[in-house]
Every structure is written in structure tokens, then in C-alpha cells.
A and B are shown apart, each in its own frame.
Chain A
Amino acid sequence: MTDAPLPRTQGTWAHLVYVLRANPVTLLAFGMFAFLIFCAVFGPAVVPYDPLATNAAKSLQPPSWEHWFGTDQIGRDVFSRVIVATRLDLMISVAAVALSFVVGSILGAVAGYWGGWLDSVLNRFLDTIMAFPLFVLAMGIVAALGNTIENIIYATAIINTPFYARLVRAEVNIRRNAGFAQAAKLCGNSDLRVLAFHIFPNALPPMMVQVSLNLGWAILNAAGLSFIGLGVRPPTPEWGIMVAEGANFIVSGEWWLAVFPGLWLMLAVFTFNLLGDGLRDIVDPRKRT
């Protein structure tokens, strides 16, 4: 056609910059996310105290310049423990979400593409999982499988899988007979390839929103399990346990033991909740100009 002077199109990097600049909330979320990642990677190296070192002489001190978040009942530095715990909590949630993302995507994509009895069976199975109170189900799984970090990950993954499967199923189903899927078949792609390389990637934008919300839930879930004594065991620093232990001291006035880990937990969940829309805009090529 005749449009000779072509406006320049954006590359991936320019698009990323655009998404971050257009929405200050996304920029904030990515900034907080970068901070959390920094804590997870370098936390143990930069904290002022050993998170496990006890110091009976300095037990239950309120926040001060020396101990920003105060110290606990056996004199451990709360700030160091909160920062060091980031790695464990993020690891549990990322692993759990990755697992449910993969399993949910496969189940949902297969059900959405081929349909039929497979679809019906899978849907009823997912309905069954969702019929349980999810946290109670996770408790049951951890209690039954044993009290380890891996089992927390599995339990969190199992309760999150139905959400991914449902979402992917719907997204795949509406594109099953789309023109580009038909065209891909004419190009010599088998059904499996059409599904994996043409239809599934188009389901990614809404999945990203789900992933980031889920990361938040997964952290809460892991902390919740630890809070009630399942999963991570003391003295390992972990936000849930710290809140649980700190809760005993609130009555006697030592509020910092529970408040700071709780605040950090909230911060992490908040970050992931904010992250969703930005992530979706980044993986959606249609948002580019």
C-alpha cells in the first residue's frame, strides 16, 4: 500500500519503559519487587547480625538504632531475621506458583483444546478440589505428607492449580478454532504444536495477572501454615513463624516482634498484587504501538 513514511515501531525494551512510565503504580510495584529480590539474593550477606545468633543479655529490646526492629525473647535481631526470611518465603511461593502454573496450564490446555470426556472428567476433578476450604486442604496435605518445606510447596501448588486450569481452559477454548490456529495446521503443525506454540502463548496475558496475585496468596498460605505450626520449623527465620511467636508477646507490650514480620509479609503480598497489571501489559504484544 502507499504508506511510505513508516512510524517507528517499539522494541521490547522501549515497550517496557513505556509500560513503567505510563503507570506510576506499576513502576512502584516493580521497584518494590526489585527490593524484595535484592533481599532474597543478598539478604544473608548484608544483614548486620546473624539471624540465628542468640544474645540473652539483649532479649526483648524495643526498636533502636542498634536493632531497627528490636530483638526477640532470646536476643536475636528481628530486622536481620525478617530480611533473611525473604529468600525462604519467596522461594516457597515462586516454586509453588511455578508448579501450579505448569500443571494447571497443561491440564487446562488439554481440556480446552480437545474437550469431550477429558474435559468433563477434569472439570469435575477441579470442582472437587475447589469444594474444600483451600487452607484446610493445604493443612491436611502437609499434615499427611509430613512437615517439610517441599510439602508446603506441593500443598500450595495443589490448591492453586484449579485456578490456572480454569483460566487456561477458557482461553484455549475460545481460540481453538481461530483462523490462526487453522492456518498453523496448514503450515504443517500437529495439534500438539498448534496448542503449545500458537494457542497457549496467547493465553499468557491474563495468566500473568493470575500469577502475580497467586504469588501473594502463596506467601500468605506458606506463612499461614507456619503460623499454625505446620511446615517451616523454628529457629529458621520465616515470616509466619515470627508472627506466631511474636503474637505471644503482644499482650505484654513487645509489639515489634509480631508487627514487623507482619508488615513485611503485607508488603510482599501488596507488591505482587500491584505487579499483575504491569506484567500483563508487558507480555501482551497488542499493547505495543
Chain B
Amino acid sequence: MLSVRDLAVSFQTRNGEVRAVRGITLELGKGEILGIVGESGSGKSVTSYALMRILDAGGSITAGEVTYSGIDLRRAAERDMRDIRGREISMIFQNPRAALNPIRKVGHQIEDVLRQHGRATRADARQKAIEALKAVRIKDAEARYDAYPFELSGGMCQRVVCAIALACDPRLLIADEPTTGLDITTQKAVMDLVRDLIRDRGMSSILITHDLGLAAQYCDRIVVMKDGRIVEQGDPVQIFSAPQHAYTRKLVDATPREGESIRSLLPPDERHPTLPHKVHNRPLIEVKDLTKTYQGKSGPVHAVRGISFRVDQGQSVGLVGESGCGKSTTSEILVRLLDPTSGAVLFDGHDIAGIPARRFVRDTRRKDIQMVFQDATDSLNPRHSARQSIAEPLRRLAGMRGAKLTARVEELAVLVGLPLALLDRFPHQLSGGQKARVGIARAVALEPRFLILDEPTAALDVSIQALVLNLLVDLRAKLGLSYLFVSHDLHVVRLLCDYVIVMKDGQIVEEGPADRIMRNPTHPYTQELLDAAPKPPARRVAAE
């Protein structure tokens, strides 16, 4: 149905030509779901843009053939392409909120597509748009027709984007990271929906994702891309059980699975034995009846509703929940960036919640409680080099200057595995993993006693995530740190944490030792979280 032969795409940039896709060959059969898996920069998204001929300025197809049902897409006139997009081939984009026009009602946006392709007239457009909303299982579709994108949740927005993509009954659907940024239960709901719709309508689909586990669960066949080339293709079970290419093996290893240890995420030759960390039976942090209420436009919003827990010296506690559960608010209060509405936070037995966040900056305990932020890019000052960012806490809180400061910064860079040559680079000149390392180096610079990790790997590729998680394990043993690991992914939390707390709607629904929670969760919500995570096929250890 779709055949791609030796496709190559290049971009003209300030540093010369960048070859994003270097000759890939693909076949997609009727009714087939093909997964294109690769990490950032592998050229997987560019491939799909090239198929649709929607490359950014400066990008062009330099070689190859793209044939869709006998039509040469590379040479088709722009007028014909406009007809093909939406009616024959349509696309679901990464960020559903950005893909929808924020100031138009979602119903009107569906009507636009229908009328553009002559599928509806002024008279019946509304009715057809409501049908399209019903098709993607949006409850109360008549009322949702008049909603604006900002009034809908992320999952709901992605459903609307699906409705738009499917409104004209295309025969090929390209989904580019359709669930990135969505909660894990929402991800499951959206992916199940997309799969059912594709099956019911007999469509073909290309699912582009960085998550090998997700692709394995929903695709008939998987193509693994690296640096603009296809390194391996095959059916999911084969890819997982007997990966041929070294890169595929690395990806398979790095995908967190049940029953594997944190070291097994790394390639076999890098699996040093884990250093043990000691947990003392002495509380470092005790949270008592913590609440936080914001004044919203429509009444008070209870972000955190009276939670209590403790973190022992040397212990790693996982705080798990989906967006809006209050986990970020809790971590911001603990790190003293935010003042609670009520409740106490005892650090070493002394309440620190009573000191306003504004004054805690000058408290002697400031250096003992630090944080690694969720988005490494956002958490580094764009105008500061890596060296300046790491030096900041040392200069401000330890008063270090000159040669001593330089030595300490370089020592920290070595500790987190950041090449010294990169220290004078600005954040935009560093890769995601390197930025994460800078953020971690800054957080541990003053040897804090309590470190909050706010989804430190959420924005990273799986192979980088594997490296960063292992770095955190090593640091914990070397520096005797206590962690509060905030995340939405139980499978990642389990790897690092001794104890897990599950939060929902500002309350703790379940807590216990990590192994126990993973093996027999008692609360239905924990069960739901565990079920929603993609389950990659088990890896058969090849007899080598």
C-alpha cells in the first residue's frame, strides 16, 4: 500500500547540510500497523513529515521514491498533496494541545476538515462532527462540540485530534508520538482507542515512538531507526527475544521490565555490581498532615489534602501518581520553594515548613535539601555555561571562589560522568543526557542530605534514562543520599526505590515496600497504574 525506497532527507543549516534520513526502505501492507522506533535524532519524525511532504523550511527529499497506492508522492503536485493529506493519509501529532487551534471550538475544527474535503455541507456538518466525536468515544459529544481545547484534558484533546484525523476516513494514519506527555492510564486509553479504530476501519497505520515497549504492544511489525538508517526490522516478539543489531539490543535492555534489576538496563559490559546503600532506622524527613490549597477562579483547589509520610536516613522513597495528583506540589513544599497551607515538615526533628520559603534561602539547612528538576533544559539558565550552573550553589552557599571552585566543579563533572570539555558549553549546545548530568551535578554539589528527584528522566531517551538512573544509584551509595523520587512510572520507581507511596487526588492511596507494591498492590488505582504500563515481551537471554 505504501512503499518507500531509499528515501533520503537533508536539511540546510548554518553548519552545512544535515542528513536526517539516509536512505530507508519500508513497505506497509494493507491493515498493518508498523512501528517506527528510535531515539531523538534518529530521523523517525522526519521520515513521516517527508511522506506527507510537510518538511520544515530548509528540508528536502534528496533521493528515493515514495509510492502510495500507485501515486508518486515525491513528485505529486502540491494541489494533489493537499487532497491526499487528510483524506487518504492523515496524521496525529505529538502535542495534542499544540495541534488544536486554541481559540476555536473543537467541533468547528472537525467541521473545517470535513468541509475542506467535501465530506459535509453547511447543513449537516454539525451532525457529522458530533458523530466523529462519538467515534472516538468522547462522552457527551453534543456538549463537547462547543468546548475549547483549554477546557479539555490532555487525553481528551488527543481524542479530538484523532477525531479530526479520522473524520475523512483516511486509509493510512500516521501517529507521531501520540501519547508523549499523557498520563500512563490515559496513554493506554488513547492507544487502545486508536488500535480499535484502525482495526474496525481496516486502515493501515504507522506508529512513531521512542518507546519500544509501547510499539511492541500495539504494532504488527517494528522498524528500529538510528542516525537516519534502519538498523533492524521484524515482529515485536522477535525484536525483543532475539535482537540482532547491537543498537536494538541496547534499546531492549534499556526498556524497564518486570523483574529486572537497575543494572540490567545497561549494556552487559557496563553492568558493574551495584554498591549497597545503608538505610538507617532514623527519620530524616517527616511529613505530618500536609495540605496545600490554592485559590482558584471557581473556588479553592485542594492540591494536597493532608498527607503524612517519612523518609529515613539513606532511604529512597518513590512518590508515584499521575498529573494533578499533588506530587509536584508536595515536592515543591518539601524543597521549600512553596509554603504549605497547613501541616509540618520535620527535617531532623525540626519543623522547616514554618519558615517561609522566601527566608529559607538564607537558612543553614538550604544546602541539605536540594532538587533535580523534571526538565533539564528548562532548569538550566540559557545564558550560563555548564560550569557556571554547577558553580552557582558552591559560590552562593559555600562561598567558594577561584582555583578551589574550579577544582570542585571539575570533580563534580567527573562524578556525574560529564566530559570536562563540555563544561564551557551553553545548555543548547548539550544533549538531553548531558543537561541532565549538569542538573544532577548542581544538585549534589553541596553534598545535600535529602535530594528530591522530580521525574529526572521524563524527557530523556530510554538509553539515556538507563544511564542516568544508574548514575543516581551510584551517587546514592557514594554520598549516602536519601532520595524522594517523584514519578508517574511505577516500573522506573521500583528500580531505584526501597519504599513506594502512591498518590491520587492529593491523598496517599497506598504505600509500602517497593517489592510488595509491585507484586500485590491492594488499592485498585495502583493496580490500574501497573496494568496501564506497556508490557514488552519477555527477553529470552540468548545463549552466547
Q: A interface vs B, CB < 8 Å?
A: 1, 3, 6, 9, 22, 178-180, 182-191, 198, 201-202, 285-286, 288-289
Q: B383 to chain A: closest CB distance in Å? A: 5
Cα separation A204 to B393 with both chains bound (whole Å) = 24
Q: B interface vs A, CB < 8 Å?
A: 14-15, 335, 337, 358, 361-362, 366-367, 370-371, 373-375, 378-384, 392-393, 396-397, 417, 419, 421-422, 424-426, 428-429, 431, 433-434, 439, 442-443, 464, 467
Residues of A contacting B392 in the complex (Cβ-Cβ under 8 angstroms): 184, 187, 189
In contact, B361 and A190 (Cβ under 8 angstroms): yes
Residues of B contacting A202 in the complex (Cβ-Cβ under 8 angstroms): 381-383
Known contacts A188-B393, A285-B382; is-contact A183 B373 (Cβ 8 Å): yes
Residues of A contacting B425 in the complex (Cβ-Cβ under 8 angstroms): 9
Cα separation A187 to B373 with both chains bound (whole Å) = 13
Cα separation A194 to B362 with both chains bound (whole Å) = 14
Main secondary structure of the interface of A (DSSP, over half): helix
Cα separation A180 to B464 with both chains bound (whole Å) = 22
Residues of B contacting A178 in the complex (Cβ-Cβ under 8 angstroms): 378-379
Q: Which 6 A-B pairs have the closest CB atoms?
A: A179-B379, A179-B378, A188-B396, A187-B393, A188-B397, A180-B381
Contact of A186 among B337, B431, B434 (CB under 8 A): B337
Contact of B379 among A3, A182, A190, A286 (CB under 8 A): A182
Contact of A183 among B379, B417, B429, B467 (CB under 8 A): B379
Residues of B contacting A187 in the complex (Cβ-Cβ under 8 angstroms): 392-393, 396-397, 442
Q: B348 to chain A: closest CB distance in Å? A: 18
Cα separation A183 to B454 with both chains bound (whole Å) = 12
Q: Could you show 7 A-B contacts with beta carbons less than 8 Å apart?
A: A180-B379, A182-B337, A186-B366, A187-B442, A201-B383, A285-B382, A286-B382
Cα separation A183 to B467 with both chains bound (whole Å) = 23
A189-B361, A285-B426, A289-B15 known, 14 other contacts, Cβ within 8 Å: A6-B421, A9-B425, A180-B378, A180-B379, A183-B442, A185-B361, A186-B370, A188-B367, A188-B393, A188-B396, A190-B362, A285-B428, A288-B429, A289-B429
Residues of A contacting B417 in the complex (Cβ-Cβ under 8 angstroms): 1
Interface centre among B15, B362, B370, B383 (most CB of A within 10 A): B383
Determine the residue in chain A with the shortest Cβ distance to B381.
A180
Determine the residue in chain A with the shortest Cβ distance to B434.
A1
Residues of B contacting A184 in the complex (Cβ-Cβ under 8 angstroms): 381, 392
In contact, A179 and B337 (Cβ under 8 angstroms): no
Determine the residue in chain B with the shortest Cβ distance to A182.
B337
Cα separation A190 to B397 with both chains bound (whole Å) = 12
In contact, A182 and B373 (Cβ under 8 angstroms): yes
Contact of A179 among B358, B373, B464 (CB under 8 A): B373
Cα separation A289 to B335 with both chains bound (whole Å) = 35
Cα separation A191 to B467 with both chains bound (whole Å) = 34
Cα separation A183 to B370 with both chains bound (whole Å) = 9
Residues of A contacting B421 in the complex (Cβ-Cβ under 8 angstroms): 6
Residues of B contacting A188 in the complex (Cβ-Cβ under 8 angstroms): 361-362, 366-367, 393, 396-397
Contact of A289 among B14, B370, B382 (CB under 8 A): B14
Q: A251 to chain B: closest CB distance in Å? A: 53
Residues of A contacting B380 in the complex (Cβ-Cβ under 8 angstroms): 179-180, 183
Known contacts A186-B335, A188-B361, A188-B397; is-contact A285 B383 (Cβ 8 Å): yes
Cα separation A186 to B15 with both chains bound (whole Å) = 37
Q: B459 to chain A: closest CB distance in Å? A: 11
Q: B147 to chain A: closest CB distance in Å? A: 26
Residues of B contacting A3 in the complex (Cβ-Cβ under 8 angstroms): 431
Determine the residue in chain B with the shortest Cβ distance to A183.
B379
Q: B250 to chain A: closest CB distance in Å? A: 11
Cα separation A198 to B373 with both chains bound (whole Å) = 17
In contact, B393 and A179 (Cβ under 8 angstroms): no
Q: B386 to chain A: closest CB distance in Å? A: 11
Q: A287 to chain B: closest CB distance in Å? A: 9
Cα separation A170 to B425 with both chains bound (whole Å) = 28
Cα separation A187 to B382 with both chains bound (whole Å) = 16
Residues of B contacting A288 in the complex (Cβ-Cβ under 8 angstroms): 426, 429
Q: B290 to chain A: closest CB distance in Å? A: 19
In contact, A189 and B396 (Cβ under 8 angstroms): yes
Cα separation A289 to B426 with both chains bound (whole Å) = 9
Cα separation A188 to B396 with both chains bound (whole Å) = 6
Cα separation A185 to B397 with both chains bound (whole Å) = 11
Residues of A contacting B467 in the complex (Cβ-Cβ under 8 angstroms): 1
Residues of B contacting A186 in the complex (Cβ-Cβ under 8 angstroms): 335, 337, 366, 370-371, 393, 443
